[in-house]
Each structure stands twice: as C-alpha cells, then as structure tokens.
Amino acid sequence: MQIFPCPFCGPRNETEFHFAGELGKVRPATDEKIAAQDWATYLYAQRNDKGLVREVWIHLTCSELFVMERDSETMKVLGSRSLREDAQ
Amino acid sequence: MTRYSAFNLLREGLRGHTGWGKAWRSPAPKSSYDAVIIGAGGHGLATAYYLAKNHGLTNVAVLEKGWLGGGNTGRNTTVIRSNYFYPESAALYDLSVRLYENLSRDLNYNVMFSQRGMVVTAHSDPEMEMAARQVNAMRLNGVDAELLDRDQVRKLAPLLNFRPDMRAPIHGGVLQPRAGTGRHDAVAWGYARAADALGVDIIQNCEVQDFIMEAGRCVGVHTSQGDIRAGVVGAAVAGHSSVIAKMARYDLPITSYALQAFVSEPLKPVLDTVVLCPPFGTYVSQSDKGGLVIGGGLDRIPSYGQRGNLPVQETVLAGLVEMMPALASVKLLRHWAGIVDVTPDSSPIIGPSGVDGLYLNCGWGTGGFKAIPAGGYLFAHVLATGSHHEISRPFDRSRFVTGHLIDEGAASGIAH
Amino acid sequence: MTSHRTTRVALIDRSKPLRFSFDGKEYQGYEGDTLASALLANGVRVMGRSFKYHRPRGPWGAWVDDPNAIITVTLNGLSFPNCPATTTPLVEGMRARAVNAWPSATFDIKSGLDVFHRWLSAGFYYKTFMWPNWHLFEPMIRKMAGLGDISRDVPEGYSADQVFDHCEVLVIGGGAAGLAAARAAAEASRGVVLVEDHPVLGGGLHQMAEIEGLAPTDWIAEQVSAITSAGGRILTATTAFGVYDHGLVGLAENGPFGTAPRLHRMRADRIVLATGALDRPITFADNDRPGVIAVDGACEYLARYGVLVGSKIALVSNNSLADAAEVLLAEAGAKVLRLNPHDGPMQALGGKRIKGIAQGAKRHDVDTIIASGGMTPLVHLWRHAGGKLNWCETRQAFLPGAAPDGMVAVGAVNGAFDLDVSLSEARAAGNGKSPDLSPTSYALTPLWPDPGSKGRQWIDFQHDVTLKDVELAARENYVSVEHLKRYTTLGMASDQGKTSNMAGLAAMAAVQGRPLPEVGTTTFRPPFVPVPLEMYHGHHGKQLWHPLKRLALEPQHRAAGAALGEYGGWLRPGWYGKGEAKQLIHQEVLTARGSAGIFDASPLGTIEVMGPDAETFVNFIYYNTIRTLKPGHIRYGFMLTEGGIVLDDGVITRLDQNRFVISCSSSHVDSVRTHLEAWRQDGNNPDRIFVHDQTQHWATVTIAGPKAREILAALALDVDLSAKAFPHMTLQETHFEETPMRIARVSFTGDLSFELSVRCAKAPALWEAIVKAGQALGAAPIGIEALSILRAEKGYIMVGKDTDGETMPHDLGFGVPRLKKSAAFIGDRSLHCDKANATNRKTLVGLSVPMGAPPLATGAHLVDGTPPRSQGYVTSSYESPTLGRPVALGLVENGAARIGETVSVWHLGDIREATICAPCAFDPEGERLHA
C-alpha cells in the first residue's frame, strides 16, 4: 500500500486518494471560437511521462486538491504541495 | 521450418527431438526494410505475419527492445471474446475471434484457443435489462449471445455463489458461447515462427531510441543495433506508446496504468467457462494447466512499474472469494502486472500518427490480447496500402477531434 | 526400515504422539512434526507423483524448498488441497492423500505415462492437437493437469483477520542472523518486529552443537528474552510473503492448521533481510528419485524432528558445508559415504526407493542420496523491493547488490555462510549500519548441468523439466531466460523455481557458452510461498462489501411492511405490503394519482455551494443558465462532462444571493462532490466558493399527488401553501416542531408535489405526521417501483437508464442553452463537435404499442433494414395503471423528428411493432403539475 503525502493531512494510505489528472491542463476560454483540434488536445492529450511526473491528486478524506511529484516507473513519491503553493 | 504435426512429433520423439529447427532466426538487422514494426508483442508479430501473408510484403523487420512477446502479450489473463456493444467494436473484436478460430492451423502452432464461453453475470433487475440490451446488440451485430437466467448461469458455473447471504444475488447473465481463452505465449510464438518462415526478420534486444526524419517524414529508426531505414514504420508498443510518441513529437490521448493479474495453484478442473461478476469487478477462468487465472480493475495510478499494490490485490481476490466462496482455501501462486495504455473511450487507436510515414496500433488498454489477430490484420492493411480497412477506420485517432468516440467503457463492465 | 526416528534432542514433543493417515494407511508422529517428517520417520519414501510423467516423488527439502510432497489434507471434515507436506504441521486425526495420484502415491495408475516421456517433452502440445480441433483433446489434457481437487462446499468458519501493523525495524528471518539483528536493534531502542516462518525460531542453529558457548535452544532463548524485554515483538509461523511499494511488507501469520492466516500489512521504516539460503540440487541422471534429499534438508530433518533420512547415505556435494553435515549425520548413526561429484557422472539407482548410486564404473550401495550443488540465497523479497543482484563468482550465486531504500541483507542471504560473520553483520545492521560483503570460508567448485551428457536429468522436479528439455529449448531458439521458462515451464510450479531456477539458468548458459549471469534471472514475484485467497478476502465480504446505505426511516418502512431492496447502493422500499408485488405496485401508482403518494426521498444528494462567486461557479458547472435563478426558486438542470455527455440531472435551488443547493442522483453524490471540488480548487478561487455536502444531514419526505396540498395543510405549518404563494419550482423555509424545514415544490411524478426536508433525527416524527394526515385522505406510502412508473408516464428520465454514455442534453429535448447560453460551462465546446451535430443522434422518445399489446421488453432494440440494424433501444417500459396501457421510453436515431412513425422492435429474435411518440404520455399540458 503506497503512502501519499497530503499537504494538509500528512502521509496517508493510497486508498484515500484519487488521481485527478496531469498538472498543467489549462481550460481554454470557450467564449471565443476554438478549433476542434485544440479542444481535443485540451480534452484528451496526455504527456504520460515515464519517469518524473507532476500530477493533481485529490485527498478524498479532506477534499483538497494538491500537486504530487512522483516517478511513474519506480513509484517513488518525490513530494507534494498544495495547488496554491504550486501556482506561486 | 519443420512442420508441427503428430506424425513429426512421433518421429522426433524417437530421435531425441534433434530434428526440430529454430522457431525463429536471430538475424542481424539489415540497413533498410520496406516496413519496420516497432514492438514484437502479439500485435507487432501478427502485423508482420499478415504483411507477408496477405500483402506479399516480406522485406519486413520487427524490432523488439526485450524478448519477443515479453510485454503485455506475456502478462495478460488470456481471455478472448467479442461481447461488445457498438457495431464498430463488434466488427473489430469478432474479426479477431474468427481469426483465432483458425489460428492454430494457419500458423501451424497450437495456440489452444478454447471456446468455452464467457458469462457476464447480472445481479439486479436493472442489470438484467442492460443484459438484454447487450444481448440484443450483440446478436444484431452478428455475434453469438444468449440471455441466461439464474438457473442457466448456475449450470454453467456451479462454483458461483448462490447462497442466501450473497451480497449481490445473481439474476442471470450474458453468455457468449464462442468466447474463451488461449495460450498467450503460444500466440506470440506462433506468429513469430510463421512470420519468420515467410522471411520477416525479428530482431530482439533492439531498442528504438529515436526516429530518422527527413523533410518532416519518418524514414527509419535509430536503434541500439544501428540505424535502420524503412519505407513505412508502424509502432505497436503497448505500454510504451507515449514514449515512442515523444520521440516523433506527436501527442496521444493515453494514460498508462498497471493492470494486475493473478494465478492460483493448479487444481483439477473446477471451472469450465470464463466468468465476470461486475459488482465485484473480478473475472476468472481456469487454464489448461489447472491454475485459476484471475483479473480485475486497474491500479488507478499512472504507472510504468509493471507491478501493482495490495489494495487492488485485496479487492480483486476478495471479489473472487465472494463470487465463488468454495475457493477460499485455494492458494495464490503468483501475481504480476503489465502496462496498459488506456484511451478516453477504452477503444484502440489504429492508423496514421500524424507524422508522415509513421502509423500507430495502440491504446488497447486492458483488451489487447483478444484483439491480436485483428490488430495485426488491420494494421498490416494500413501499412501496406496507406489507408484504412473499413473495420479499422472508426478507430482512427481523428475520432477524438470529431467526437465520434466508441465508448465501450460502460458496456463491458470493468476495465476491459 | 531405511529411515527412522532417532533419540537425538529435537523440537518434537515425544510425550504427545499423534495419529494420522496417508493414502489410507495409519501412521503415528509427534507434536512438532510436519507431515513430511512424520512420514519419513515411518519409512514412507513416496509422497507424491510428478506433474507430467507421474514419476514417484519424495521430499527433496524440509521446508519451503520442496516441490514434491504435495498433499490434500482433510481434518474435521474440511479438505485443503495442495498442502506441502514439509510445511504442514502434523495434527491428530489428519487424513492425507497425495494429489494427482490414484489410488495412492505408491501405486499410481498413471505411472505408465513415464513410458511415453520421449513424446511428452517440453512444449509438445504446441506441436500437435491441432487436428481436427483442440477441443477434442482439451478435456483430457485438463484432467491430467492440475494438482489437488477442491471440495465444492464452502469451508464454513474459514475466515482471515486482516490488520495494519507498523514498526521501526522489521527483521525477516529468525535464524542466527535474524535473532542477532533483532536483539541489536531492540537494545538500541528501536521498535522491532521479528518474523520467522517456522513455528520454532533458530533456523539452522538447531544443527549445531553450540553457539557462542551455549546450546542452541539456550542461545535462542537468551536472544528472545533480550528482544522481548526491550519491547520487541516476535511472530513465529509467520511468512513475509511480499514487499510492495513504499516499504509495505505483507505478512501471513499462520494459526492452527485449517485456519486462514492473518494478514499483517506491515509498514516498516527499515527492513533487515535475514532469510537465509537453500541448497540447490545437483543435476545428474535420475536425480528425481524419492530418497534424493538436500544436504541441508537432511540435517533439518535430524535437528528439528529427530528423523534420520537414511542409514546408508551418499553425500554428494561441491561445497564445504558438507563437512558439518557429514559429522552431524554420522553422529546420529548413519553410514555416510562422501562422493565427489566431479569424479564422474552419477546416476541414482532404484525406482520408488534408492537402491544405490553409480558414479562412472563404480556402484555404491546406499539407501539415500543427499546432494548439494551450492547455496542459493533467498533474495526474493529483496527483488520485490527493487533491489539489484550481483553475481558472486566465488560463491557461484546471485547476492544482494544495490539495496532498495531502507533495506539491508545479512547472514546467509547476503552470502555469509560463516556463523561469526553472519552474527557480526547482523549486529551491525541491527544498529543501523550496512554490512559489506565479507570474505568467507565457504568454498565450492562450480557444478552445473552438463548439456549433452547422458541420462534423464531433472531440472524442475514438479513439472518434469529435464536437461534435455533445456537443450531442446535452446535448439529451437527459446533462449532468453523468460522464453526458456515459459516454453519448458521450469520454475513455474508451486515452488516457483526455488529448486529449479539456478539449474535452468546454468543449463542454458552452458548450452549457449555464455556466463551464467549473462543469461539473467527471471523476475521474483510475490507471494514468496502460496497463500490462501481467503487471506486477501478477510473482512471484505458479504454485507461489508460496499455496505448498503441505510435510511433514517428504515424502522418506519419496516413497520409499514415495506419490501426493502437495493437501489443505487441504498436499502429502500421497493413497495409496501404483503402479496403479489405487481398488484401492490399497481395500487400504489393509482393511489399516487388519485390522492397522494408518500415517498422517502432521503438518499437524494444535497450539496450546498456558497460564497461570493457561487453564482458564477454554478453557472459554469451547469449546462443550463443558473445565473438568472432568483432566490427561493428552483431549476431543473444537467451537469455535463467536458465531453458534453450528461453526467447527472437534478434540481438546483437558490437560497439567497450567494447560496445554492444542488440535488443530485443518490448514486452520484460522491462523484458530483469530487467534480465540484476539483473545479472549485483548480480553475477558480477557492476562497470565494465553498462546497458542503449535506446529504447525510437531511431526510426528505415527498408528498406527491392531487391531495398533496391538503395533506400538507393538515400539518399546520407556518407557510402559505396556495398555488399563488407557492408556485411550482419554488422553495419555502419553515419549521416543523421547532426544527428548521425546507419545503421544495418539485415533482418527479408530474402531479402537485412537495419535498419536505428536516434533519434526520426529526424524520420519524415528520413521516408519522404525514402518513397520519395522508391516511384520512386516502394517501399512502409508495416505493421506488411505483415511482419509476409514475415518472415514466411523464417522460421524466433516469440518468444511466434512459441516457447512455453518449447522451447529450439536446438529445433529451433540452437544446436551448447549447445554442443560446453565452457564458462558458463545462462541456460547452463539445456540444458543437462533429458527433454532436450529427443528424442521426439517438434522441429520447416515447414508444406506444397497439391496443391490447403487452409492454415492450426493456433492452429491446429498434431496428430497420434487412438484415436488421439497430437504431436505438427501449430504456424504460411499464404497464401504466394510470393510462391502462403500456408506456415506454427509448433512445432512437433522430427520434424527436419521427413522432408518429411506426418502428420494428427486436428482442431476442422476435419482432413487434411500436409507434414513436412524445416521451410524455400523461397530462402533457402540465395542469396537474401546476395545480
């Protein structure tokens, strides 16, 4: 059972978490016209890196979203920080 | 290639089996080929075979960074089925089942396709309604399907839990009689041997490290065994599709996860069909060697680790004991995992990559093994002609732009 | 007798004899015996048959390294298949039977198969059985395969505990090194747990005369005492079966035979691996015979169980550890003949018993052969954790190399076969230091299979893989280690290669003329030994599997005679009363239409969204425009995925400028809440929007029907219930017995309807009051089944039933926001993609049938063409008591534009006719709704 570090609650069992997506997806402004290709890229394209990954996770217990860095090959957790910290 | 047959086996038995030739050669790569396929898994090898057999293209190489069949093809739970909902999926997967039905003879290698049927159980009135919808869809798509009631399910799989304290009582299910299991390694080895016999070079321990691009077109690959030029390149690298994509700078709608699989100690025959119980998310069949082969849902954490963790192991195996309580004291022998490439609609991507000269056969998620013959057949068509077979056309990557997704996710129960 | 019990001090209790049977014969052993040691003590040599050739098998090892003696054990009426005799503790009354042998291991009718071994070589089944059909041969192959059979009965009472556990230092292995490491760590004030898979600690110590001046049992007792007084814990009969990511170790704590092991999910800061090493077999002709036993195994049988495996023993070893073994066995009274395996090729003589051993031209008269080709460290857990291995040329073995985080290996597993080195490494590790590889007195001359040499020489005893099979695999180019293993099946038996992997690698290396380490190793996977499925099952069972959610009003429903069933994860009334369900439901529908139905709507999700940006937020979340919703008003809307697909439907209520209440499907509450939180925090300002799931707080009782207002009036609430003051789709806040109550005028039945919400503790009083008031007016409780019919009569959808994974809001008749809403919302761009604009999209319709015809089958497809092609399907279908005829809903291509058209309906091969109509079949003007 992996342990993930919620920046708010501390290290917790992996079953308390949900993978919310890769970090860096920015929703395009849809009040303008967007090409179908660009919308598809936003919706579906994934970096899916082998190795260092930066992801958004939800700690279901406290409902907080946060950024976690991991290695997707070794499954090591490198660190986590709140979304706000990451934005700064 | 020494032909495999009972007669030859008898003869060779008397000669200490000294007359069997290599199942495949270990050639050094040439500097160029008409077609290069990246990935000697089931799909890559089948593609090479059909390129040679159906299209007369034999100047073909299949490049494999490890040992052939060592990726997902050697790690899956061996189920073969075409119990899908949408006509596009039915056409794809049933093409595969039909090819599997004659595969041993086509390849002259016993892949042991056992058409023992697969039943997906239904555990409530709404689930029975969905089962009816599913059976009707399958039959209208020309695929065999039966709607079973409770007693019929019980007859097929007496080990199932019909106790009064069962958490999710079985009401009936969907049976596909022509579905079943196959020997996964044999599929890879059979295609490898047959393709090799037709002149295809299978180059193992040859890792593609980059693409050779000229004027925006892919004309070959840089590998750990040197440069190889190609008229056309096809990538069939389940588990590493995104790694390859980065080399050629196209993007993919793929997330890679670990999918775990399990086998028990060998038992005398106790289960004669493949069973999936959606409320538990677990499915099981018994291999010809006697072990129960068990699978379930993904570890939902992007991963290239080829291993999963205890929470999913507990969920899947607990699910099995809930489904079939008599198995409680049966012992787990081993578990492992593959890397599955999951697309947004859980349907594969076949066709152009967006980079000229480079084509894709990927995104099969948890459902690649059953589709090996069809994937190979259709991918060979794309590589040989430059255009889609009508069966592969709906699975082109452009569907993510047009919105014409083929979303079997809900239709198949658990991650298929 | 060729093997017997000696008087040597051993770990058995000779005052406690135990009776048992094997293959129908009665025997006696002692408490502390394993099945294998007790059988050996009784002179039983043949304890099983090999998988393929059914050759007789006796135990090779004394513990987990035995692939041969596999037994089905019946005790107290329960049968357990595939028990290894060497690790199964003897219990009074056990009835043991060899698996895969009939009528007994000694006289197996399939032993004749061995005659055909020439044709049953590795992979033979790939070369034949293709004509006419594999199915013809498969049943026979399946029957021959498999080991034990299982009882079809459920083993009652066989249930595993599962616990979480943690410690600072986990020491795996309770031999000399493990005990020393655990003591050092405990005395350095670390929280220590020591696990040992034998019931008795000590490992190989019991073979020694003394250790650090003490008798082994005394030395062990001293370590145990020191460990436990320092606060350490010791778990015996506990196997560490796997190491997983982030230092989680799986432990299987075995209880008495016949009980399921307890799972410990052990989190350790540091792991000290002291799992030891085992003898590997020597590959020589007929080395699979019963009576060919591991050197260390023979010593264990003597030291632990007092069993001398033979009286005239040939000891064949390539390494220096044989010296001590020779002394030990000779002292116990055996005649030991030392043979040098390098003096010439050997052959075991005999069939079911050893009659001798031949070497070159010489024949030696012995009754037992004990062999060792060197020690193989048990590095499995090291590899699970991602540790690397290094090939040690001196020791001819793979040793732990680069360590996984937090793990250290000591003792024999680390290649330390000298006791003093082992102890000092272990003590250092216990104190937190990592030991280096030390020099060793252990010496061996490499002894590996010799491809091309004569005779049948076994590599995998259980799967009957011989040296010739490896040669065949090489000949056919299955040369990578994984191909070799999969093609020959070596290493895939129930011992998972413990005794076969090294020989297999070495054989392939020799055939190819490559150094062994270049051939590689196969992956080690958990579990280290097979563990029962029940251990993973534990408490994840029966009603604890996704436990049903329960209503606060459940006692009231039960008292009212409700037929409770599972709906969307909740236990809810399907209908009320005893009798034929169809009749009762039918009546409930009529009651609801004639007077009113009283319904427990508590599971409905109630999620509040508050804050200065709440309005913008919900306007973005919803497909519909919510911005314009006035306080006290309610709107029906859809939440979409970014792909434009309907995620959920439900009403949203505006309480005030900055406060909204979202109602969502009872089965979607968690996913909607997560959905809201994700958008709140990632893409918006979370200091200006707050999401609060109140579903658990509120109980909701619905009164729906023409008499709803009168019933509500009888409660004498401080609310103006008139149509003018309280129009449809508005909310009033009031009190019920001094408890705040919200009344929402919304309807899922199409009749005048009020939803009353109070906190759960007040629900029973509210329910009783409503039922009482309703009784006088002919109203009654109604369940989900009746509700499903009532809403279908109005064409109201149930998401997930009348929508599928492709349905967009404009398919359901809600097309305006798609064209007119200018503010951004989730899914907006997707509603204009190619697929969204297609003219053949499946849209919601009603379906009617000819007069007197029965209802359509739900799940039937609407078809056209020859052969018939599906264009949609029936999603809901009922006999409508209100209308006296069937009603149905469905999704069909371009349905909304085909009202009035007749279509064919296909169900399991039968075809009937239906007519496409508007989804709403009852009161389309909505007069009753707006009453």
Distance, CA of C207 to CA of C202 (rounded, Å): 10
pLDDT of residue B411: 52
Best B303, B309, B346, B406 member to test A by mutation, with max A CBs in 10 Å, is: B303
Contact B269 C146 (CB under 8 A): yes
pLDDT at position C483 over 80:
yes
- Distance, in angstroms, between C876 CA and closest chain B CA? 9
C-beta atoms of B309 and A43 within 8 A: no
pLDDT tens-digit readout, C623-668: 999 999 999 999 999 999 999 999 999 999 999 999 999 999 888 8
Residues of A in contact with B339 (CB under 8 A): none
Judged against a pLDDT cut of 80, whether residue A67 lies above it is answered with: yes
pTM of model > 0.95: yes
Of C246, C633, C170, C148, the C-alpha closest to C410 is C170
Residue A82 lies in a domain: yes
Whether cis (ω within 30° of 0) applies to the bond prior to C103 is yes
**pLDDT at residue number B416:** 25
- Within-domain flag for A33: no
Contacts with A44 from chain B: Cβ below 8 Å = 253, 344, 400
Cβ contacts of C465 on chain B, cutoff 8 Å: none
Could you tell me which residues come within 8 angstroms of residue C666 by beta carbon, excluding any fewer than 6 positions away? C568, C569, C570, C603, C604, C605
Chain A residues in contact with B252 (beta carbon < 8 A):
45-46, 48
Interface of C with B in 519-548 (CB under 8 A): 523, 525-527, 530-534, 536-538, 540-543, 545-546
Q: C683 exposed, middle or buried (CB, 10 Å; 0-12, 13-18, 19+)?
A: middle
C841 touches chain A (CB under 8 A): no
Could you say which of A1, A31, A65 has the minimum Cβ distance to residue C681?
Answer: A65
B302 cis-preceded (ω within 30 degrees of 0): no
Q: Distance from B3 to chain C by nearest Cα, in Å?
A: 8
**Which pLDDT does position B381 carry in this prediction?**
98
Check B401 against A49: CB less than 8 A apart: no
Q: Using an 8 Å Cβ cutoff, are B203 and B61 in contact? A: yes
CA–CA gap between residue B316 and residue B281 (Å, rounded): 7
Q: Is pLDDT at C123 greater than 90 in this prediction? A: yes
* First-last CA distance in chain A: 32
CB contact (8 A) between residue A40 and residue B400: yes
Residue A49 has pLDDT above 60, yes or no: yes
Q: Please check whether residue A87 touches C, CB under 8 A.
A: no
Closest-CA residue of chain A to B345: A44
CB < 8 Å to A47, chain B? 242
Report helix, strand or coil for C402.
coil
| 8 Å CB contact between B36 and B220 | yes
pLDDT at B19: 93
Q: What is the pLDDT of residues C420-475, one digit of tens each?
A: 999 999 999 999 888 776 778 899 999 999 998 999 999 999 999 999 999 999 99
Burial group, residue C835, by CB count within 10 angstroms (0-12, 13-18, 19+): middle
Lowest mean pLDDT among B331-345, C84-98, C439-453, C586-600: C439-453
Provide CB contacts within 8 A for C229, sequence distance 6+. Answer: none
Do B205 and B29 meet the contact criterion of CB atoms below 8 Å apart? no
Structural domain that includes position A65: 3-26+42-87
pLDDT tens track for C102-115: 999 999 999 999 99
In a domain, A32, yes or no: no
Residues of A in contact with B253 (CB under 8 A): 43-46
Domain assignment present for A76: yes
Helix, strand, coil share (%) of chain B residues, nearest 5: 30, 25, 40
- H/E element holding C792? helix C784-793
Short-list B114, B52, B131, CA closest to B293? B114
Q: Which of C245, C677, C683 sits opposite A2 (nearest CB)?
A: C245
Nearest-CA neighbor of C117 among C463, C416, C434? C463
> What are the tokens at C113?
């198969």
Residue C798 has pLDDT above 70, yes or no: yes
> Which helix (H) or strand (E) is C880 found in, with range?
strand C869-880
Residue A72: inside a domain: yes
Beta carbons within 10 angstroms of residue B22's beta carbon: 16
Judge: B251–A45 Cβ closer than 8 Å, yes or no.
yes
The model's pLDDT over B251-286, given as tens digits with 9 standing for 90+, comes to 999 999 999 999 999 999 999 999 999 999 999 999
Q: Is A46 in Cβ contact with B252 (below 8 Å)?
A: yes
What 3-state DSSP class applies to C643?
coil
C2 — pLDDT class (breaks 50, 70, 90): very low
Which two structure tokens, joined as six digits, stand for B273? 């069909």
Please tell me the predicted confidence (pLDDT) of residue A84: 82
Flag whether A58 is in a domain: yes
Residue range C141-166: mean pLDDT, rounded: 90
The overall average pLDDT reported for chain C is 95
Rounded to 5°, the CA angle C403-C405-C410 comes to 45
Q: Is residue C115 within 8 angstroms of chain B, CB to CB?
A: no
Per-residue pLDDT tens over the stretch C193-215 = 999 999 999 999 999 999 999 99
In this prediction, residue C189 carries a pLDDT of: 84
Residue B24 predicted with pLDDT over 90: yes
Contact A14 B301 (CB under 8 A): yes
pLDDT of residue A85: 80
Nearest CA in chain C to A21: C678
C769 vs C397: CA distance, rounded Å: 81
pLDDT digits (tens, 9 = 90+) for C373-408: 999 999 999 999 999 999 999 999 999 999 999 999
Q: State the pairing for strand pair C407-409/C397-400.
A: unpaired
Whether chain C has a CB inside 8 Å of the CB on A18: the answer is: yes
CATH number of the domain that A50 lies in?
A: 3.30.2270.10
Residue A37 located in a structural domain: no
Residues of chain A in contact with residue B307, where contact means CB-CB under 8 angstroms, are: 75
Give the one of B255, B301, B309 whose C-beta lies nearest to A46's C-beta. Answer: B255
C282-310 pLDDT, tens digit per residue, is 999 999 999 999 999 999 999 999 999 99
Are the beta carbons of C121 and B185 separated by less than 8 Å?
A: no
Q: Shortest CA distance to C360 belongs to which of C338, C340, C345, C339?
A: C345
Task: Check if the beta carbon of residue A85 is closer than 8 Å to that of residue A7.
Answer: yes
Q: Does B21 touch chain C (CB under 8 A)?
A: yes
Query: How many Cα atoms within 13 Å fall on the side-chain side of residue C357?
Result: 29
CB neighbours of C132 closer than 8 A, spacing ≥ 6?
none
Q: What pLDDT shows up at residue B413?
A: 34
CB burial class (10 A; 0-12, 13-18, 19+) of residue C157?
exposed
**Chain B residues with CB within 8 Å of chain A CB:** 240, 242-243, 251-256, 300-305, 307, 309-311, 344, 400-402
Please provide the size of chain C in residues.
Answer: 931
Tokens standing for C49? 């048959």
Taking an 8 Å cut-off on Cβ atoms, the answer to whether A2 and B309 are in contact is yes
Q: Is the dihedral of CA C215, C216, C221, C224 positive or negative?
A: positive
Percent of chain B with pLDDT over 70: 98
Establish if A47 touches chain C: CB-CB under 8 angstroms.
no
- Counted domains in chain A: 1
User: What CA–CA distance (Å, rounded) separates B175 from C717?
Assistant: 57
Q: What is the pLDDT, as a whole number, of residue B415?
A: 29
For residue C141, pLDDT beyond 70? yes
Which one of C525, C545, C858 has the shortest CB-CB distance to B132?
C858
Please judge whether A77 and C246 are an interchain contact, meaning their C-beta atoms are less than 8 angstroms apart. yes
For residues B72 and B340, the answer to whether their CB atoms sit within 8 Å is yes
Residue A22 domain-assigned (yes or no): yes
Residues of chain A with C-beta less than 8 angstroms from the C-beta of B309: 1-2, 14
From the list A1, A31, A43, which residue is nearest C265 (CB)? Answer: A1
The C residues from 349 to 408 touching A (CB cutoff 8 Å) are 386
C166 vs A: CB within 8 A: no
Q: How much of chain C exceeds pLDDT 90, in percent?
A: 94
Give the C-alpha separation, B414 to C297, whole Å. Answer: 47
Instruction: Indicate if the pLDDT at residue B182 is higher than 60.
Output: yes
The per-residue pLDDT for range B292-324, each reduced to its tens digit, is 999 999 999 999 999 999 999 999 999 999 999
Nearest neighbour of B288 by CB, restricted to C142, C148, C477:
C142
- With cut-offs at 50, 70 and 90, classify the pLDDT of residue C1: very low
Q: How many C-beta neighbours within 10 Å does residue B391 have?
A: 18
> Which of A38, A46, A53, A69 to probe by mutation at the B interface, max B CB count within 10 Å?
A46
Q: Which two tokens stand for residue C619?
A: 């306007």
